[in-house]
Amino acid sequence: MALGLTIKFLGTIVELALPMILSFMIDDVVPTGDRGMIYKYGGVMFLCALTALVGNILANRVAARVARDTMESLRSALFTRISYLSSRQVDSFTIPSLESRLTSDTYNLHQTIGMMQRMGVRAPILLLGGIFVTVTLEPVLTLVLLSTLPFISIVVYFVSRKGIPMYRFVQEAIDRMTSVVRENAQGIRVIKALTKEEYEKARYDRANDNLTKREKTASLTMASINPVVNVFVNLGFVAVVIVGAYRVNSGATLPGVVLAFMNYFTMITMAMMMITRMVIMVSRATASATRIAEVLDAPVDMAVVPEEETDRLTAEDVPAIEFDDVTFSYNGKKEDVSHVSFRLGKGETLGIIGPTGAGKSTLIQLLMRFYDPDSGTVRIDGRDVRTIPHERLAEKFGVSFQNDFLFADTIRENVDFGRGIADDDVLVAAERAQAAPFIEEKEGGISHSLTIKGANLSGGQKQRLLITRALAGNPEILVLDDSSSALDYATDAALRRAIRENYAGKTTSVIVAQRVSSVKHADLILVLEEGEITGMGTHEELLDSCELYREISESQMGGAVLE
Amino acid sequence: MNKGFGMPKGPVATDPRNVPTGGAKKLKVLLRLGVYIFKYKWLFLFALLVAVASNLFALSGPKLSGLAIDAIEFGEGHVDFETVFYYAGLMAVFYVLSSLLGYLLQVIMINLSRSIVRQMREDIFAKLMRMKIGYFDKTQVGDIISRISYDIDTINATLSTDFVQICTTVITVFGALGMMLSISPRLCLVFAITVPASILFTIYNTKHVRPLFRARSAKLGELNGYAEEMLSGQRTIRAYGREKEMIARFDKRNTEAVDAYYKADYYGTLVGPTVNFINNLSLTMVSMFGALLYLGGAISLGNVSSFVLYSRRFSAPINEVANIVSELQSAASAAERVFRLLDEEEELADVADAYGFTDVKGELETENVQFGYEPDRPIIKNLSIKTKPGQVIAIVGPTGAGKTTIINLLMRFYDVDSGEIRLDGTPIREGERAALRRAYTMVLQDTWLFSGTIRDNIAYGASGEVTEERIRECAKAAGIDSFIRGLPDGYDTVITDEGVNVSKGQRQLLTIARAMMSDAPMLILDEATSNVDSRTEMRIQKAMLSLMKGRTCFVIAHRLSTVRGADTILVLRDGEVIEAGNHDELMNMKGFYHSLFHAQFEG
């Protein structure tokens, strides 16, 4: 970068010499009538022009490279930071906003970094150089011209100070528009089915109008800099002509000097224009940079707690999973999980069942440390999950969430998920997850490409693929969060059988389900209701002791919903 | 049999060979951009006038200052102050006017370009709403967003500055040329060399840069697409601790994107210095020849200086044009991406005089329907169903049997390949698509809600105005009212994107409440209660029954208990109905249904 700036510096200086030579020619060479000298200086000018050409091209390329490298590492850092944001932080930034920070904001910065290097050197040099040369030519006239600078600075300062927050509003409006588009792409089936296209258009138009309005305000504000600066500079020049006339008349200066001044004046004007353009871009970039910095500077949430600070259970038969009086709330008001305690031995299966919104998935989120409990402790193998480094914790789990994430890549990649799992293991897992039959039918088998969000799979196929992913890593702890709801009973039963046969006793499993049949063979079943455990035990025990469980069970085994 | 509608089968693949290439294509893109501007032609013309005026004033500056300096030139004690003041005064007035007009011009252009950009964004979105559903399965949202933001931004930059600049440039160039001709036609010969040189260079460079800009837009779109996809899956990535791998993949795309940007820059940066060089060359030549002419007594010193100033005025816009041409390249590539989206295949337009499906009774019939997402792989084979108004039809079968596909066909998300679907005796293909869909209300497995208040989300299901009572009534019926009222903000609670505040099951209850808001004569329940526990399901059973009452219902469910009461149960396997009848009939058959039914009690 320093190299680029130096080259740029040289190129610009050489360009600056051109009008100087021109002035020298007209004032000093021409009156002598020496044609040879005229050719000679013409030659020098040509050389200067050539040097400027090479220098500027080189410098611009260096600038482009610097901008590229800066952006590459900044964007990467940003994505990395985003990847490690805690769930709470993601919730508060929101995904559309993170997305537009990662794209639109970094793009603004990229543009500005490139331009700043090109103009950022050129403009000040042209300006300072112009001023320097004019000072040596004629200090008094220069002072006259410079007297406009304070006014210009004040204008630029105030306008850009107003502009930065405006550009922030613009970016926020982009967030909102992004979020509407995202939602619509996700919900297009529902929107079309309900013929809500017009409604959505209206919703989008509001976001669009709002963005347009903010962009206009910001642009108009920033656009006022240019004419104001122009007026000041040009009036300064008029003053130069008048004062110059007096000084020529009094013999203090020569007409040729005033003439040369005009040339430098053009240069200074150009420099001022560049500077105002830069101010505009920098204002916008500052707003974007702040938004990026907010993410980069977000405090590390849920850091790994040193183990000494917690008590570790070291008994022989320490439970694989233990919840010790855990209480948690998403919003800090209503408790989503309250005073949950249970223990699960190694290789055992835990079933969690309960009505909608009882906090079943929340327990999983706490177990995997997406959130930290407000009070109480979650332990895995006797160790507080907060003391386990994130990656070590993650590699213990194989998990399938409700409506989990599939992406546009091959089936193999979707299962492997960057873990480097051998094809054979993928196939074995697919077999157990009952996914093998439909995968085989696909062209290319596990090399078959999924479309975005796995849209070319049926709901049940998606779930089986997600379970394949969960099984493929031979996890210590298998978590299936309501992940077989779209499977027909026969497939579901086969799946459960396969899991029981292959993993029971080795893999600790946590199964969240709506169906009693999915959990009835579990070693321990938790019945949750409104965040509290209302029943705990085996299927048989619960049928005796827990009314809610009995009700659920009966409703599923017997009575029809439709008459 | 139907008489063979001339339906185009599958997406009409755009043959890449048919796409006009190179110049013709670029011209088409620019013309389409022109269409947008044409809407504001009077404003645009006005802007041009202002630009001309502003430039004429600015252009007079050097001439006036030349005249003023001529008056100074007499040297010590002989300066003609009256003339100096006269011209200095004029200069001041002209410059101020020029700046004022300059600002006015910017105001007009900002308004103009923003209106155009707004229009384009609106068009894109309206287009998305008309798109076939499958479009969203093959296009990353991030890429669409990249078009709406980055590409349109690029176009905006061009619109707001470049178009006017090109027009004023032409004026400036000719104005300056005229001025220079009036001073010294002989000196103007210099430009006979440098101007063609600039033009040739620009043309040469353009050829190289065009594909680079195209790659730049495309790569940025890809990056955005990937970023969007990964951000959506953030939770899973965390669960598996795959951050590092995903970051590495992001980095790869990031590198590609910045490289594409760099490559376009690399050639783009040639333009400025090169054209500048050509300008400096003319300056050199002008001063040399000017000096020689002065020595020959053919020109005054003041005129040399004016000429030099004009020559800079003359070359500055040429410089500008060269830069603009390269910016136009980037705008054209961006516009190309926007227009390509606008040209995507839409849902087929309704036929002329399409039937409006009013007072639908709900008698639905499919006849020999065959359909596949890919033409050679039929998902639905020879499907014939007949329903009477108010009947409940259940569709059961293993996953992937084509159950959801049937719904897609009934609602005309896709058109059948052969066969016919009739509603109240009218082929649905001859009706209005929107009217057909309005005849349905639905609850899907997909619990999509938009980010808005709970109230708005429930009201979403109704087609007209709704009362607060009605919303509460439906929420109550769907068994979600007490939960909502328990929230700190009640019905004003804003549902967020990933919705930590509302569980999956609760979201589904909200979609049920939403469906209840509708008075459509037909109902589709596609795994409507799959996210709801069975106890809650029992609790809302009455509501579900009242939702179904009087409507023709299509129910897809795995819990066979849910479908027991259906009038007809269709057992679907590999796209074919293998068994049909009511529960008892099917059980008596001891066929596939029978085995499915028993499977659920096994464990």
Read off the pLDDT of residues A238-274 as tens digits, 9 standing for 90 and up: 888 888 888 888 888 887 777 777 777 777 877 888 8
Q: Minimal Cα distance from B373: which residue of A?
A: A456
The residue behind tokens 């497995």 is: B445
Note the pLDDT of residue B293.
83
Residue A290 lies in a domain: yes
**Is the CB of residue B119 less than 8 Å away from at least one CB of chain A?**
no
Residue A61 lies in a domain: yes
DSSP structural state of residue A303:
P
- A109/A504: higher pLDDT: A109
On whether both A19 and A46 belong to a single domain, the answer is: yes
Q: Which whole number is the average pLDDT over B339-344?
A: 90
Supply the CATH number for residue A519's domain. 3.40.50.300
Helix axis angle, A2-24 to A106-137, nearest 10°: 30
SS (H, E, C) B509-554: HHHHHHHHCCCCCEEEEECCCCCCCHHHHHHCHHHHHHHHCCCEEE
Residue A563 lies in a domain: no
**Does the pLDDT at position B10 exceed 70?**
no
On whether both A267 and A379 belong to a single domain, the answer is: no
Identify the top-confidence range among A510-519, B314-323, B524-533: A510-519
CB contact under 8 A, A65 and B262: yes
**Is the CB of residue B45 less than 8 Å away from at least one CB of chain A?**
no
Residue B526: what are its φ and ψ, rounded to 5°?
-105, 95
On whether both A351 and A286 belong to a single domain, the answer is: no
On whether both B134 and B263 belong to a single domain, the answer is: yes
Residue A467 lies in a domain: yes
CB atoms within 10 A of CB A89: 18
Residue B600 lies in a domain: no
Q: Which of B313, B342, B371 is the last residue of a domain?
A: B342
- Smallest CA–CA distance, residue A83 to chain B, in Å, is 6
Residue A232 lies in a domain: yes
Per-residue tokens: B20? 């006009």
Residue A23 lies in a domain: yes
pLDDT digits (tens, 9 = 90+) for B104-155: 988 998 898 889 899 999 999 999 998 888 888 888 888 998 898 889 988 8
Note the pLDDT of residue B150.
87
Domain count, chain A: 2
Rounded-to-10 torsion of CA B94, B100, B103, B105: -70
The whole-model pTM stands at 0.84
Q: Which of A296, A322, A356 is the last residue of a domain?
A: A296
pLDDT digits (tens, 9 = 90+) for B372-404: 887 778 888 888 888 888 899 998 887 777 888
Residue B166 lies in a domain: yes
Amino acid at B307: F
On whether both A358 and A211 belong to a single domain, the answer is: no
On whether both B336 and B455 belong to a single domain, the answer is: no
CB contact under 8 A, B65 and A241: yes
Residue A336 lies in a domain: yes
What are the CA-CA distances from residue A95 to residues A88, A91, A296 (Å)?
A: 12, 8, 15
Whole-number mean pLDDT of chain B? 82
**Does the pLDDT at position A25 exceed 50?**
yes
Note the pLDDT of residue B600.
64
**Does the pLDDT at position B207 exceed 70?**
yes
Note the pLDDT of residue A560.
36
Task: Show which of residues 198-217 on chain B sit within 8 Å of chain A, judged by CB atoms.
Answer: none
CB contact under 8 A, B148 and A177: yes
Is the four-CA dihedral A290, A293, A295, A300 of positive or negative sign?
Answer: negative
Nearest to A49 among B65, B255, B284 (CB): B284
CB contact under 8 A, B295 and A110: no
* Backbone region of residue B20 per phi and psi (left: phi > 0; alpha: psi in -120 to 50; beta: other values): beta
Residues of B in contact with A451 (CB under 8 A): 137-138
Supply the CATH number for residue B505's domain. 3.40.50.300
On whether both B211 and B338 belong to a single domain, the answer is: yes
Q: Which of A233, A268, A296 is the last residue of a domain?
A: A296
Q: Which of B519, B534, B567 is the last residue of a domain?
A: B519
On whether both A196 and A323 belong to a single domain, the answer is: no
Residue B143: what are its φ and ψ, rounded to 5°?
-70, -40
Domain count, chain B: 2
CB contact under 8 A, A98 and B231: yes
Supply the CATH number for residue A248's domain. 1.20.1560.10
Q: Which whole number is the average pLDDT over A459-472?
A: 91
CB contact under 8 A, B91 and A238: yes
Residue B477 lies in a domain: yes
On whether both A291 and A314 belong to a single domain, the answer is: no
On whether both A122 and A198 belong to a single domain, the answer is: yes
Note the pLDDT of residue A509.
93
On whether both A233 and A317 belong to a single domain, the answer is: no
**Does the pLDDT at position A550 exceed 60?**
yes
- B251/B235: higher pLDDT: B251
Closest CA to A241 of B58, B175, B61, B309: B61
- Which ipTM score applies to this complex? 0.85
Residue B467 lies in a domain: yes
CB contact under 8 A, B460 and A220: no
CB contact under 8 A, B536 and A356: yes
Residue B188 lies in a domain: yes
Residue A86: pLDDT band by 50, 70, 90 thresholds?
confident
Residues of B in contact with A452 (CB under 8 A): 136-140, 229
CB contact under 8 A, B72 and A82: no
Note the pLDDT of residue B497.
59
Enclosing domain of residue B285:
30-342
Residue A532 lies in a domain: yes
Enclosing domain of residue A79:
2-296
On whether both A221 and A369 belong to a single domain, the answer is: no
* Backbone region of residue A405 per phi and psi (left: phi > 0; alpha: psi in -120 to 50; beta: other values): beta
Residues of A in contact with B82 (CB under 8 A): none
On whether both A192 and A248 belong to a single domain, the answer is: yes
Residue A215: pLDDT band by 50, 70, 90 thresholds?
very high
Q: Which whole number is the average pLDDT over A277-298?
A: 91
* Contact present, A293 and A93 (Cβ < 8 Å): no
Characterize the bridge pairing of strands B364-371 and B418-423: antiparallel
Nearest to A556 among B77, B304, B534 (CB): B534
Residue B428 lies in a domain: no
Q: What percent of chain B has pLDDT over 90?
A: 11
On whether both B107 and B242 belong to a single domain, the answer is: yes
On whether both A448 and A532 belong to a single domain, the answer is: yes
On whether both B454 and B338 belong to a single domain, the answer is: no
Closest CA to A396 of A499, A474, A313: A474
Per-residue tokens: B278? 């050509």
| C-alpha span between B328 and B258 (Å, rounded) | 20
- Smallest CA–CA distance, residue B113 to chain A, in Å, is 9
**Does the pLDDT at position A561 exceed 60?**
no
**Is the CB of residue B122 less than 8 Å away from at least one CB of chain A?**
yes
**Does the pLDDT at position B15 exceed 70?**
no
**Does the pLDDT at position A201 exceed 50?**
yes
Q: Which of A275, A296, A317 is the last residue of a domain?
A: A296
pLDDT digits (tens, 9 = 90+) for B520-577: 899 998 887 777 777 777 777 777 887 888 889 999 877 676 678 889 999 888 888 8
On whether both A292 and A320 belong to a single domain, the answer is: no
